[in-house]
Structure 1
Amino acid sequence: MSQQGEAVPAAATGAGTVSAPKPALGITDAIAVIVGIVVGAGIFRTPSLVAANSDSGTMFMATWLLGGLVSLIGALCYAELTTTFPNAGGDYHFLTRAFGKKPAFLFAWARMSVIQTGSIALLAFIIGDYLAQIYSIGSFASVIYAALVVIVLTGINIIGISVGTGTQKLLTALEILGVLLVIVAGLFFAPPETEAISTTAAVAENNNSLGLAMVFVLLTFGGWNEAAYISAELKSGRKGMATVMILSICIITAIYLLINLSYLHVLGLDGMSQSSAVAGDLMQATFGEGGLVLIGLLVAVAALTSVNATIFTGARTNYALGRDFPVFGLLGKWNEQTSSPVNAFLVQGGISLALIGLGFITRNGFETIVEYTAPVFWFFLFLVGIALFVLRRKEPDLYRPFRVPLYPVTPLIFCITSAYLFYSSLVYTGLGALVGVAVLLLGVLILFSLPMLSRLQQNKGTPKGI
């Protein structure tokens, strides 16, 4: 999932075109890219949800360590797929090559209706929660702010305005500054009375679940599956890819352990579990209202950076879906005047607003959208893991620049983990998960109706798309 809203390449760009990127990245460059992709705004929101599903501080910290290990295993599996089958289509290409066009269509449908739009709604709710803490405009402030974010950024992208690379680097630097600020504040500037409270805080009685805690943890680690796309551009080849993956995940895990230790140190497990803006509460406890405003603005900037990139790339995914499948031809139209897929932006924005509405109905916006996206995300990640086995069998003689170590044990662990997270995201969640699965099943109905819909479209003479 670009469950946390990191930039995602277009999913459906055609299964037959294979790119040939030139090796241009050093190990340090690649590590910087991966860390930048993974460390997003989610780390300022999901720890409170993990705390609410942890029995103790030890379990809380252990889930983050386990999340790093699971992410490393998955990254190694993706490293083999992306170096063997380099293609801008990513998962769409792997699934097409392993299973054919039908599962690939369902993946493209899921990205449009669940995964990508869910990521946009998640990030919008993060912004809404923090802005509501800085300046509340009523009991529905978070939802209103979230909706405004989607409307404004969709409009900006439609009229063709894009953020330059220099600005993106600045915003990313501000995001990292926010992470470091929270770590330093929590570990070195916590008032003595706050530390005492945090060590004795009791956890409220609830139905704690390791499975659900891991759903939130791995949402925050989300992005390594996209980062593997740079594997074909490494100067150092196979050995370098393994080094990059291992070091990147270790660095990310260290950052997450430190920032969560800071949260735990200041707020305690109970305080975290009751917070909707955990970094804001930490900064308020250490530096007062000024710290609250500062971190709120930094988090909002970080999330805005991610949500803008997600809106930009998500619309191009939908545009590609319209080009590959004539039934969705309306999405496959490109506006020459604005140099953007306007229809794809509008549909994506509408779905994202509908998801924000779903969060409003349930009164737990962020949690509901996590529930909505998680089962579908982990289902397709499980299929990608199976695709690695299928492609090894179908094309055993194909040159593989990087082979996943300890095959078949490593990818088997990845598949089992993905299946367990799929199970957990169904069993331990609520309405959101059921809606997400229902939307995916709607995609199944559309898939089986494609021949009939295509004939009706031809009879009516409607455009098939570009």
Structure 2
Amino acid sequence: MATAGDVAQSSPEETQPLRGAAAEKDDAPGPSYGGTGEAQGGGSPPDAGVRLKKELGLMDGVGIIVGIIIGSGIFVSPKGVLEYSGSVGVALVVWGVSGLLSMVGALCYAELGTMIPKSGGDYAYIHEAFGPLPAFLYLWVALVIIMPTGNTVIALTFANYILQPLFSNCDSPPDIPIRLIAAVVICFLTWVNCTNVKWATKVQDVFTASKIFALIIIIGAGVYHLATGNVDNYRKPFEGTNMDVAAFATAFYQGLFSFAGWNYLNFVVEELQDPYRNLPRAIMISLPLVTIIYFLTNLAYFAVLTQSEMLASNAVAVSFGNRMLGVMAWTMPFFVVCSTFGSLNGGIFASSRLFFVGARQGHLPQILALINKDNYTPVPSLLFLGFMTVFMLISSDVAVLINYISFSESAFILTSIAALLWLRYKEPDRPRPIRVWIGFPILFFVICLFLVVLPIIQRPIELGVAILVISVGVPVYYVCIHREKKPPCLENFMDNVTRTTQILCRGLPEEKHE
């Protein structure tokens, strides 16, 4: 296998195609693509090749968690939370409890991340506790549903907000322009990530501050509105509460979607300096901060907009800006567009690296583990992710897409928490630098079980599709991954695909690290 140092002298034609899972064992170590320095930016690679380096400090960890959590969710989910909860009071309770639940889950992941200090997050924990099949199913669902659908939601939010000022007299912009603009921004950012990692990180840096600034504007305007005596929307906060248990669970789906990303620091734990100290500290700083910001933002939304106005709007922050900011109302869609643009860029960047890790482990086709020999970017992984994300635009119903994501994520977070409990029972003496109170994982397990089971009654079609996708992964694993000898037609097909991809993408496998 070529080393990083050989890339400049080798050509794709000289590299033999890899064959499926045979390239590496299930229990192989899990280095991820995404080291730092020149090897990523398109310059000359260091002598040691692309390696994970411990270059992330405490504030870097806080920045990763906060930057990923605050994306499109806070600008989309308030409508869904209110729709399923039925009242302003319960909706605010859902937001507060969602933040607390996310904090409990993040603390459980702090124990997992320090007990199993491997990159890959849920994939590593599920593999450690339950073996390769459940771990593969996580990658399979992340590839087919979680990552592309999450990016699609952000792209649709971007398109909704960029078009909303042009269709201010309509409840929402037309569907076709929304999908077209979403597809364009997905393709553009995929190209940016394929071309140069430094470009992608600069895009992320430039657009990160805008999301915080937009929320500060919303909170400030809402506080001013309440301070001037406009409290009508809070006179009967629990009127119209939906008492259906399944609907209540779906409201939590919408709220928890906005907190998605609290476990992403675990995906890069090998790059975190002193993870035994900095991982829990980053969690304890980030989650309370985001919870307070989200709660105050929703308090501002409900102070200014009536329930009917929020339910009729697909761009809640724009409706808020039109009511409160006057001639400066244009700033709200502008800031939200910047926020979602940066979030989509970060989602594409991080998601492609997860698939790269899975391919290096032999649980995904090895073409996804190829890197471009000129720009040092995982081009095949990025292109496949871009294709899947655009494909998800077959539905522009953001609420339905969120249900797809939330069910799948809840199912595998449930599995990861079960891994924590199982390892507590199976290996009680295993070193645990951080050991949370046993009540936390038990509580979080029960809540995740509730969120997985009950919404099936409320949304059987969408969740049935998600269950079907998970089930399809089982035969895929046994045919394509588990079997020592693959069907000849499959081997020949994958050889041809890999060879063609290496030529078209100028791709080579990353060097192995012993």
TM-score by length of 1: 0.85
Aligned equivalents of 2:485 and 2:297: distance in 1?
51
One-letter amino acid of the structure 1 residue matched with residue 407 of structure 2: P
- Say if 1:128 and 1:335 are closer, same or farther in 2 by CA, change over 3 A: same
Counterpart position of 2:188: 152
Task: Please state if 1:214 is matched with 2:214.
Answer: no
- Please show how residues 192-341 of structure 1 align to structure 2 within 5 Å: 196=232, 209-228=247-266, 233=272, 237-238=276-277, 242-288=280-326, 290-291=328-329, 293-325=330-362, 328-341=365-378
Q: CA offsets per residue over residues 379-423 of structure 1, 9 Å max, x none?
A: 11100001002222333332211111x21x211111111111112
Question: How far has the Cα of 1:18 moved from its partner?
Answer: 6.8
Q: Deviations over 1:293-343 (max 9, x none)?
A: 211111111111111121122223333333433872333333313433332
**Structure 1 residues 201 and 421: CA distance shift in structure 2, 3 A:** closer
Amino acid at match of 1:287: L
Counterparts of 1:126 and 1:203, CA distance in 2: 30
Partner amino acid, structure 2, of 1:182: I
Aligned mates of 2:188, 2:137 — CA distance in 1: 29
Which position in structure 1 is the counterpart of 2:176? Answer: 140
Instruction: Answer yes or no: is the 8 Å Cα contact 2:222–2:304 preserved in 1.
Output: yes
Matched AA of 1:77: C
C-alpha distance 289-275 of structure 1, shift in aligned 2 (>3 A): farther
Q: Which amino acid aligns with 2:425?
A: R
User: Do 2:80 and 2:254's aligned partners in 1 also have CA atoms closer than 8 Å?
Assistant: yes
Give distance in 2, aligned partners of 1:311 and 1:167: 12
Task: Give the C-alpha shift of residue 30 in structure 1.
Answer: 4.3
Shift of 1:203: 7.7
Q: CA deviation at 1:21?
A: 6.5
Matches within 5 A, 1:15-164: 16-17=28-29, 22=54, 25-26=57-58, 30-136=61-167, 138-160=174-196, 162-163=198-199
Q: Counterparts of 1:283 and 1:191 in 2: how far apart (Å)? A: 18
What amino acid maps onto 2:400 in structure 1? T
1:400 aligned residue (426, 429, 432): 432
Once residues 46 and 144 of structure 1 are traced to their aligned partners in structure 2, the CA distance between those partners, rounded to angstroms, is 22
Spell out, residue by residue over 1:43-81, the C-alpha distance to the aligned partner (whole angstroms, 9 max, x if none): 111111111112322111111111112111101100001
Distance 1:206 1:398 in 2: 45
Amino acid at match of 1:336: K
SS of 1:334's equivalent? strand
CA deviation string 1:231-275 (max 9, x = no partner): 77465945x655543343222111111000000000023322222
Tell me the equivalent position of 1:440: 470
RMSD over equivalenced CA pairs, Å: 3.2
Distance 1:77 1:220 in 2: 19
Aligned mates of 2:296, 2:108 — CA distance in 1: 27
Q: Which amino acid aligns with 1:350?
A: F
The answer to whether residue 441 in structure 2 is matched with residue 411 in structure 1 is yes
Separation in structure 2 between the aligned mates of residue 266 and residue 187 of structure 1, nearest angstrom? 10
- Which region of structure 1 is more displaced relative to structure 2, 29-38 or 307-316? 29-38
The change in CA–CA distance for 1:230 and 1:323 in structure 2 (over 3 A counts) is closer
Counterpart for residue 371 of structure 1: 403
Deviates more, 1:325-334 or 1:72-81: 325-334
Shift of residue 178 of structure 1? 0.6
Counterpart of 2:47?
Answer: none
Tell me whether 318-327 or 369-378 shows the greater mean CA deviation. 318-327
User: In the alignment, is the contact (CA less than 8 A) between 1:120 and 1:310 conserved in 2?
Assistant: yes
Distance 1:25 1:445 in 2: 42
Larger radius of gyration: 2
Aligned to 1:185: 221
User: Residues 444 and 260 (structure 1 numbering): CA distance in 2 closer, same or farther, change over 3 Å?
Assistant: same
The structure-2 alpha-carbon separation of the partners of 1:352 and 1:461, relative to structure 1 and needing over 3 Å to count, comes to closer
Relative distance call for 1:101 and 1:237 in structure 2 (3 A) is: closer
Give the aligned residue type for 2:72.
A
In structure 2, the residue matched to 1:380 is 412
C-alpha contact 2:80 2:251 (8 A) present in aligned 1 = yes
Distance in 2 separating the partners of 1:241 and 1:379: 24
Distance in 2 between the 1:344 and 1:228 partners? Answer: 21
State the shift of 1:149 in Å.
1.6
Tell me by how many angstroms 1:458 deviates: 7.2
SS at match of 2:86: coil
SS in 2 for 1:398: coil
Aligned to 1:6: none
- Conserved in 1, the CA contact under 8 Å of 2:25 and 2:362? no
Find the residue that maps to 2:372 and give its secondary structure. Answer: coil
Structure 1 gap segments, 5+ residues each = 1-11
Relative to structure 1, is the Cα distance of residues 307 and 271 closer, same or farther in structure 2, using a 3 angstrom cutoff? Answer: same
CA distance in 1, matches of 2:197, 2:286: 32
**CA 1:396/1:147 → structure 2, altered by over 3 Å: closer, same or farther?**
same
Structure 1 residues 151 and 135, CA gap change in structure 2 (3 angstroms): farther
Paired residues of 2:120 and 2:266 also in contact (CA < 8 A): no
Q: Which amino acid aligns with 2:339?
A: A
Structure 1 letter corresponding to 2:376: S
Question: Greater CA deviation, 317-326 or 95-104?
Answer: 317-326
Deviation at 1:462, TM superposition (A): 4.6
Runs of 4+ with >6 A deviation: 18-21, 190-194, 200-208
Q: Is the 8 A contact 2:125 2:416 kept in 1?
A: yes
How far apart in 1 are the matches of 2:174 and 2:89? 37
Q: Which amino acid aligns with 1:310?
A: G
* 1: CA distance, partners of 2:25 / 2:212: 32
Identity %, equivalent residues: 26
**Quick check: 2:242–2:248 contact (8 Å CA) kept in 1?**
no
* 2:504 corresponds to: none
Deviations 1:422-445 (A, max 9, x none): 124433225432322222222122
> What amino acid is the match of 2:186?
V
Q: Distance in 2 between matches of 1:207 and 1:69?
A: 22
Distance 2:386 2:415 in 1: 28
Residues 85-115 of structure 1: CA deviation (Å, up to 9, x unaligned): 1111221111111111111111111111111
How far apart are the structure 1 equivalents of 2:250 and 2:423? 31
Q: Matched residues in 2 for 1:319 and 1:305: separation?
A: 21
- Count of aligned positions: 445
